[in-house]
Amino acid sequence: MNDFWNLVRDGPLRIRLVVVFGSAALLFITIGIAGAVGLGYTIVGQGPQFISLLISALGAFSTVLLVGVTSITFLENRMIEYAERQRPLVREEINKIVRPAITRLFSNRDRIERGLVKWRHLDFEEAISTVGGNENIELLSDSFDRTIYDRFGERKPGVKNQIRAHDNELKKLSRFADTLIDELAEPLEQYVQHSDSVGQSIRDPDGEILASIVLNNPPGLGNNHSYAKLWEEYNTNLRRVAYAEVGDELTDFYEGKSDYKYTTNSLSNTLVQTRDSMQRDYHVSLEESV
């Protein structure tokens, strides 16, 4: 029965309306019968007339109950048929929308937490078309099949709105990063070039790379990164230069990254629950949704 009501919730509008108005009609009829019995008791008391009225009321109630049960059974059969027709579409939405979105969210969060984002001029449309996939953070919706995504949005409009909000937040964070890199690239590059001790760590420093590293603020860059030694030894100095230039904005950016990680946690939970409920309500097995 729980599956039935879940399918009613996600099913066609006409069926939801039938269930709502049908349930309301049964309720009002039942209340009317009870009211008639109460009024009859008030008028005729407990005599034979009241007993006759009570028997008639019970008969009417039984008829209403039978109609209600028959209607629910009919609707349940219709919803089962609806679920059977929708199952391949739901399976497609799980495999093409929900599961990829969960994977991208975890990847985005991991790259931000580890400080691996290449913030400068993130071109999301170019990134998703790159052969072999994108190694940077990604929007969720750009690579979705539009037909499948629109159909999923009709089924789960609230989830689609959350995905849209996520992508807008990521775009905003990326634009903010571009602005900060524009302001930080030259001061950071000048600092490294004119500092004898720092300048020995790297030749021809790139200010944009330095600024992107400061925005990431990672615990370390890894031995293979050309700026690893510079960051390990002078990250405090580089951050000091950055804060001297754009202290308030840099703090806001770090807070924006923290807010984004909260967004990914919230949305990933929503997507996991959505995947599980769609599998349960439409009887899509785990193997089918892989």
pLDDT digits (tens, 9 = 90+) for 72-112: 665 555 666 666 787 889 999 999 999 999 999 999 999 89
- When pLDDT is averaged across residues 233-242 and rounded to a whole number, the result is 93
pLDDT tens string 111-136: 898 888 888 766 554 433 332 334 57
pLDDT at 1: 46
Q: Is residue 70 domain-resident? A: no
pLDDT at 49: 55
pLDDT at 52: 59
pLDDT of residue 168 exceeding 60, the answer is: yes
pLDDT confidence band for 3 (50 / 70 / 90): very low
Percent of the chain with pLDDT over 90: 41
pLDDT at 73: 60
- When pLDDT is averaged across residues 149-156 and rounded to a whole number, the result is 94
Total domains in the fold of the chain: 1
Q: Is residue 52 domain-resident? A: no
Q: End-to-end alpha-carbon separation of the chain, Å?
A: 27
Q: Is residue 54 domain-resident? A: no
Q: Is residue 273 domain-resident? A: yes
Q: Is residue 183 domain-resident? A: yes
Q: Is residue 270 domain-resident? A: yes
pLDDT at 62: 63
Q: Cα separation of 261 and 276, whole Å?
A: 23
Q: Is residue 181 domain-resident? A: yes
Q: How many CB atoms lie within 10 A of CB 79?
A: 22
Q: Cα separation of 287 and 277, whole Å?
A: 15
Q: Determine which helix (DSSP H) or strand (DSSP E) holds 193, and give its type and residue range.
A: helix 157-194
What is the sign, positive or negative, of the torsion defined by CA atoms of 51, 57, 60, 64? negative
To the question of pTM greater than 0.75 for the whole model, the response is no
pLDDT confidence band for 219 (50 / 70 / 90): confident
Q: Cα separation of 8 and 10, whole Å?
A: 6
Domain with 232 in it: 87-282
